[in-house]
């Protein structure tokens, strides 16, 4: 009777009968059910936390718009941009109410050189309700952009004299439209074609472009990497001694003696004490 009681107790705790060579075997089905239940519990808790966080974010955003005002960005639609050959669009800019795309396309088989149509193309954007459609436009749809004789001459010379020429960027800065080309292996091997966008009407993006030249390197300036001004250290800022230091406006003294960066509030060059 005692043996029967032991077997019954083991069954209640999820143990099977004792094997001939070891302790009682556990019920694997019961362990699997427990793991599944734990997973479902964690999943439900995470889903509830995510929903609560989304509700709080929406409430906070509604309060922000009510207090400070603002407009909400919404996706109107999507459409594919079709090109003559398989390529990756390098950049896009809005000019004269149309979209100007730039890519590094390949010339057609048998063509003597790369043409303007191999790199640049204009597209019209049509929106009807929630539908968006892009249609190719003729090269002369924006007068003064791709049909300018001086631009076509500079473009032809660019691809004639630089075999590695390829488009890097196409963007607007101020009243200028810049097309940046890489002409060599070095980072500064670039040539920049530029147009001036003259304001027309109330919207500057619908202005008429006027081609200037292929000397826009000075206009192609990277934005500052920091929102503060760096102050270079000169020899007058050096404090000599056993532990030489660099004075930062006479308020903080910096030392790198021994390979350790040390900050001090006093010009103490006899010890290495500091932060």
pLDDT of res. 13: 44
* Cβ atoms of 214 and 162 closer than 8 Å: no
Q: pLDDT by residue (tens digit) across 1-50?
A: 444 444 444 444 444 445 445 555 555 555 566 666 788 889 999 999 99
Q: pLDDT by residue (tens digit) across 171-188?
A: 999 899 999 999 999 988
Whole-angstrom distance, CA of residue 11 vs CA of residue 4: 11
Task: Say what percent of the chain tops pLDDT 70.
Answer: 82
Question: Could you please report the per-residue DSSP string of the chain?
Answer: -HHHHHHHHHHHTTEEEEPTTSSEEE-HHHHHHHHHHHHHHHHHHHHHHHHHHHHHHHHHHHHHHHHH---------------SSS--EEEEEEETTEEEEEE-PPPPTT-SS--GGGTEEEEEEEEETTEEEEEEE-GGGSTTTSS-HHHHHHHHHHHHH-TT-EEEEEEEETTEEEEEEE-SSSTT-EEEEEEEEEEETTEEEEEEEEEEES--TTT--PPPSSSS------GGGEE-SSS-EEEETTTEEEE-GGG--EEESS---S-----
Q: How many CA atoms lie within 13 A of 28 on its CB side?
A: 1
Cβ neighbourhood burial of 159 (10 Å; 0-12, 13-18, 19+)? buried
Enter the pTM of the model.
0.58
Q: Which residues is 122 bridged to in the sheet?
A: 100, 137
Q: pLDDT by residue (tens digit) across 178-223?
A: 999 999 999 889 999 999 998 754 444 457 899 999 999 999 988 7
Alpha carbon 22 to chain centroid, angstroms: 61
Cβ count near 139 (within 10 Å): 15
> Which single residue is written with the structure tokens 């027309």?
200
Q: pLDDT by residue (tens digit) across 82-110?
A: 887 778 899 999 998 899 999 997 776 66
Whole-angstrom distance, CA of residue 29 vs CA of residue 7: 18
Task: Determine the average pLDDT of the residues in 132-143.
Answer: 88
Phi, psi at 156, each rounded to 5°: -65, -45
Highest mean pLDDT among 73-77, 120-124, 250-254, 269-273: 120-124
pLDDT of res. 71: 73
Whole-angstrom distance, CA of residue 262 vs CA of residue 111: 65
Q: pLDDT by residue (tens digit) across 40-88?
A: 889 999 999 999 999 999 999 888 888 888 777 777 778 888 887 778 8
pLDDT of res. 162: 93
């Amino acid at each position: 009777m005692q043996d029967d009681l032991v077997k019954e107790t083991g069954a209640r705790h999820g143990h099977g009968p004792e094997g001939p060579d070891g302790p009682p075997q556990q019920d694997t089905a019961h362990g699997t059910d427990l793991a599944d239940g734990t997973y479902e519990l964690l999943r439900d808790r995470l889903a509830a936390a995510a929903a609560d966080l989304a509700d709080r974010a929406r409430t906070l955003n509604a309060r922000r718009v009510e207090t400070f005002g603002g407009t909400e960005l919404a996706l109107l639609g999507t459409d594919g941009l079709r090109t003559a050959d398989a390529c990756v669009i390098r950049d896009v800019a809005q000019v004269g109410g149309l979209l100007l795309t730039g890519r590094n396309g390949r010339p057609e088989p048998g063509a003597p050189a790369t043409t303007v149509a191999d790199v640049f193309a204009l597209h019209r954007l049509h929106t009807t309700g929630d539908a968006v459609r892009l249609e190719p436009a003729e090269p002369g749809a924006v007068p003064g952009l791709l049909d300018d004789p001086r631009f076509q001459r500079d473009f032809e010379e660019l691809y004639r004299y630089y075999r590695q020429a390829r488009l890097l960027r196409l963007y607007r800065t101020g009243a200028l439209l810049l097309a940046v080309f890489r002409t060599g292996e070095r980072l500064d091997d670039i040539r920049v074609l530029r147009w001036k966008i003259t304001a027309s009407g109330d919207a500057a993006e619908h202005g008429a472009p006027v081609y200037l030249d292929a000397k826009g390197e000075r206009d192609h300036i990277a934005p500052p990497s920091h929102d503060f001004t760096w102050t270079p250290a000169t020899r007058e800022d050096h404090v000599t001694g056993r532990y030489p230091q660099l004075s930062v406006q006479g308020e903080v003294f910096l030392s790198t003696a021994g390979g350790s960066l040390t900050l001090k509030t006093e010009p103490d060059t006899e010890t290495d004490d500091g932060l």
